[in-house]
Amino acid sequence: MRKPRALIVRAPGTNCDLETAYALDVAGAATSLVHINRISSGEMSLAGFSIFVIPGGFSYGDDLGAGKLMARELERRLRDQVAEFVRRGGLVLGICNGFQVLVRAGLLPVPFGERQRVSLIPNASGRFECRWVHLRCAPGNPCVFTRDIAALDLGVAHGEGRLYVPGPVADDIVPVLYYATRDGSEPGYPANPNGSFRNIAGICDASGRILGLMPHPERFVRASQHPQWTARGDRGGTGDGLSLFTNAVDYARSLF
């Protein structure tokens, strides 16, 4: 069976690209790791790929704001390519800095809306948050990446992860993942590490094929990557994050 092709785009400052490529390889994709200049110059294109990923890190050093410069590249130089990719059914995943890129480029919550409608702003704690969090999936959400997933543990590492949603835009948001507690109580800090709107950790578009999330699924592909892996008794198993990539690859097999 032909492997679905996944393209991971990177720029100076991106630092989670290799982990993301590994996760997709384990999930069964044929992965290409490509500098964004090769696409914007026309040397490569999204044609022939079924999964497009913007990984975490600090693209262009976040010098003008987290993800802002790469978002401008998507808007001004790659808009037509990405729009065609989405139109023909491709999957788009933005992780951490990639999520910041997607919202600033106007790909979320509504693909290629007239303007940026939501944002990811500095954490309410005023500090960089690097910790493990518990997440639950929004019931009935349409997201391809989280099919048959009810809850999972993932790590976060960000300084600007607080989802800000203006009132008039609230109805356009499709929550996929919520910061949560295991006992079901309200997730104050640090369970919600950034003060995000309605405790939302990830959102998708209405089709469920474009996902942005702040936690890092690529950092929990093997069970042994969890800090309590011995206590959890999963020494030879897989990590919670792998299921997102497996779902994407399984879906992509039906596309092209």
Would you list the DSSP string of 17-54?
HHHHHHHHHHHT-EEEEEEHHHHHTTSS-STT-SEEEE
216 catalytic? Reply is yes
Q: What's the pTM value of the predicted model, to 2 decimals?
A: 0.96
Give the active site residue among 16, 96, 143, 204.
Answer: 96
Catalytic site residue from 73, 143, 204, 216: 216
SS3 state of residue 82: helix
Residue 177 tokens read as 């993942």
Q: Per-domain residue ranges for the chain? A: 5-252
3-state helix, strand, coil in the chain (%, to 5): 30, 25, 45
Which helix (H) or strand (E) covers residue 248, if one does?
helix 242-252
CA–CA gap between residue 231 and residue 63 (Å, rounded): 41
| HSE-CB of 24 using CA atoms within 13 angstroms | 30
pLDDT of the residue at 3: 94
Query: How many CA atoms within 13 Å lie on the side-chain side of 120?
Result: 34
pLDDT score of 256: 61
Predicted confidence at residue 230, as pLDDT, reads 80
Beta bridge partners of 131: 156
pLDDT value at residue 228? 85
The question of whether 43 is a catalytic residue gets the answer no
Strand partners, 135: 152, 179
Token pair in block for residue 219: 């950092």
The confidence score (pLDDT) of residue 114 equals: 67
From 143, 158, 218, 226, the catalytic residue: 218
Do 39 and 78 contact (CB within 8 A), yes or no? yes
Instruction: Return d(Cα 100, Cα 37) in angstroms, integer.
Output: 19
Question: Residues 6 or more apart from 67 whose CB is under 8 A from it?
Answer: 59, 97, 98, 99, 100, 101, 103, 104, 120
Q: Which CATH class is domain 5-252?
A: alpha beta
Q: How many CA atoms lie within 13 A of 166 on its CB side?
A: 6
Q: What is the pLDDT of residue 165?
A: 97
The H or E element that residue 69 is part of is: helix 68-76
Q: Which pLDDT does position 254 carry in this prediction?
A: 84
- Tell me how far the alpha carbon of residue 196 is from its chain's centroid: 15
From the CA atom positions of the chain, what is the Rg in Å?
Answer: 17
Give the pLDDT of residue 188.
96
pLDDT of residue 64: 83
Query: What is the C-alpha separation between 255 and 249, in angstroms, rounded?
Result: 10
Per-residue pLDDT of the chain (256 residues; tens, 9 = 90+): 689 999 999 999 999 999 999 999 999 999 999 999 999 999 999 999 999 999 999 999 988 889 999 999 998 899 999 999 999 999 999 999 999 999 999 999 999 876 799 999 999 999 999 999 999 999 999 999 999 999 999 999 999 999 999 999 999 899 999 999 999 999 999 999 999 999 999 999 999 999 999 999 999 999 999 998 887 766 668 999 999 999 999 999 987 6
